[in-house]
C-alpha cells in the first residue's frame, strides 16, 4: 500500500490516539463512533497540511487504513454494514501498558511494524510501502549531507537522480514523509539562518529503543545482521535490493547506522571492540573515517 499517495494525512500521532482508545474497547468500535469520540480535527497536524485536509475526518480514515496495513488494527463489517475496528490481539499487550506521557515505545513499535511489513512484501515479490522505501533510501544517504526541508532546494533533484520520484513525487508527499520520519524519531530539523532548514537523519533513538531485543554480546557482523532483521529499514539487503538501480547501495553498514552506533559508544551504552581480522569484522564508515569492529557489547540498556 502506498501511504503517501493514498493516505497522505495518516500520521503516527493519529495511530497512537486510535490505538490507545481501542485498547480500552475489547469488543471493537464502529468507525462513526470513532469519528465522534476521537474528534479527528484534534489529531490533525496543521503544519504543511494541504487542501486534502479540508475534511478532518480524512485523518482518521487514512490512519485506520494505514494502521490496518501495518497490523495494528483489524476490521470487520457490523450488522448495519458499518466497519468495526479493533486493536490486533498480538498488539494489545504492547499498547495497553503505554504511559500517557511517553510515546517512545509506541513510536518504536510503529517503526518495527513498518519495517517488518516492508520486508514481508519484498520477500513476497511485492512492492513495499512508499514510506518504507523512502525511509530505507534516506537512511542509506550520508548523514553529513542533509537534505533541505524545501522540496525545490535539493530533495526533488535528489529523488529524481536516485530514481525515487515514484516514491515521493511532489512537495505534498515530501511534507508527509518528513512528518513520518520525524514522528518515528529518525530525523530532526535544524534551522540555518532565517531562510534555510535541513532534515538531519539520525537513527540513534531508533537503535537505542531496540537494544533490549538485541544480543548483549555478539560478533559485530552477526549483531548488525540481527539489527537489520528487527528494523529492516536500517539497511536490510532485501529492502536495499528493492530500491531503484540509481540509488545509493553501500557495502556493509550504512553511514547513518554507523553514526548511531558511534554516538551510543560515546555515551557508554555500546562497546564496539575493534578487530584486526578484516574477514570477520563489520566496517563502520562515516565520511572519510572507518572502523573495523569485531564484537559489539551492550553496556547499558536505557530505560
Buried b / exposed e along 210-223 (16+ C-beta atoms within 10 A): bbeebeeebbbbeb
Helix (H) or strand (E) holding 117: helix 104-123
Torsion angle in degrees (nearest 10) through CA of 111, 116, 119, 124:
-140
Per-residue pLDDT of the chain (303 residues; tens, 9 = 90+): 899 999 999 999 999 999 999 998 988 999 988 988 886 444 544 444 444 444 567 889 999 999 999 999 999 987 676 889 999 998 888 887 777 777 888 999 999 999 999 999 999 999 999 999 999 999 999 999 999 999 999 999 999 999 999 999 999 999 999 999 999 999 999 988 777 899 999 999 999 999 999 999 999 999 999 999 999 999 999 999 999 876 666 667 999 999 999 999 999 999 999 987 766 789 999 888 989 999 999 986 544
pLDDT at 50: 46
At residue 269, φ and ψ (nearest 5 deg) are: -90, -35
Q: What is the pLDDT of residue 300?
A: 65
Q: At what angle do helices 130-140 and 171-183 cross, to 10 degrees?
A: 70
Q: Which of 245, 150, 261 is nearest to 202 (CA)?
A: 261
pLDDT at 262 (0 to 100)? 96
What are phi and psi for residue 285, nearest 5 degrees? -130, 135
**To 5 degrees, how large is the angle CA 182–CA 188–CA 191?**
135
Res 275: pLDDT: 85
pTM over 0.85: yes
Backbone torsions φ then ψ of 78, nearest 5 degrees: -85, -175
Beta pairing class for 270-274 and 289-298: antiparallel
Q: 80: burial class by Cβ within 10 Å (0-12, 13-18, 19+)?
A: exposed
pLDDT for res 248: 66
Handedness of CA 58, 60, 61, 66 (dihedral sign): positive
Task: Say how far apart CA 118 and CA 146 lie, in whole Å.
Answer: 24
Amino acid at each position: 500500500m502506498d501511504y503517501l499517495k493514498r493516505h497522505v494525512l495518516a500520521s503516527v500521532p493519529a495511530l497512537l490516539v486510535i490505538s490507545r482508545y481501542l485498547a480500552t474497547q475489547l469488543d471493537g468500535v464502529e468507525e462513526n463512533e470513532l469519528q465522534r469520540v476521537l474528534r479527528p480535527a484534534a489529531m490533525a497536524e496543521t503544519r504543511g497540511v494541504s487542501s486534502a485536509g479540508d475534511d478532518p475526518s480524512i485523518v482518521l480514515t487514512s490512519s485506520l487504513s494505514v494502521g490496518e496495513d501495518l497490523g495494528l488494527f483489524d476490521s470487520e463489517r457490523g450488522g448495519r454494514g458499518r466497519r468495526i475496528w479493533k486493536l490486533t490481539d498480538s498488539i494489545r499487550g504492547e499498547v495497553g501498558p503505554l504511559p500517557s506521557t511517553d510515546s517512545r515505545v509506541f513510536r518504536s513499535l510503529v517503526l518495527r511494524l513498518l519495517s517488518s511489513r516492508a520486508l514481508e512484501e519484498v520477500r513476497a515479490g511485492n512492492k513495499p510501502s512508499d514510506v518504507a522505501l523512502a525511509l530505507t533510501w534516506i537512511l542509506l544517504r550520508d548523514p553529513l549531507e542533509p537534505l533541505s526541508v524545501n522540496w525545490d532546494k535539493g530533495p526533488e533533484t535528489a529523488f529524481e537522480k536516485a530514481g525515487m520520484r515514484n516514491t515521493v513525487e511532489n512537495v505534498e508527499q515530501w511534507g508527509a514523509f518528513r512528518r513520518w520520519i520525524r514522528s518515528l524519531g529518525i530525523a530532526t530539523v535544524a534551522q540555518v539562518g532565517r531562510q534555510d532548514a535541513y532534515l538531519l537523519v539520525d537513527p540513534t533513538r531508533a537503535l537505542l529503543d531496540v537494544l533490549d531485543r538485541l544480543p548483549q554480546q555478539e560478533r559485530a557482523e552477526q549483531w548488525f545482521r540481527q539489527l537489520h532483521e528487527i528494523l529492516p529499514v536500517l539497511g536490510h539487503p532485501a529492502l536495499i535490493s528493492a530500491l531503484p538501480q540509481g540509488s545509493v547501495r553501500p557495502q556493509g553498514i550504512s553511514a547513518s547506522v554507523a553514526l548511531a552506533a558511534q554516538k551510543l559508544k560515546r555515551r557508554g551504552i555500546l562497546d564496539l571492540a575493534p578487530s584486526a581480522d578484516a574477514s570477520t569484522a563489520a566496517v563502520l564508515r562515516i565520511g572519510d573515517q572507518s572502523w573495523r569492529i569485531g564484537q559489539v557489547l551492550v553496556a547499558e540498556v536505557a530505560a
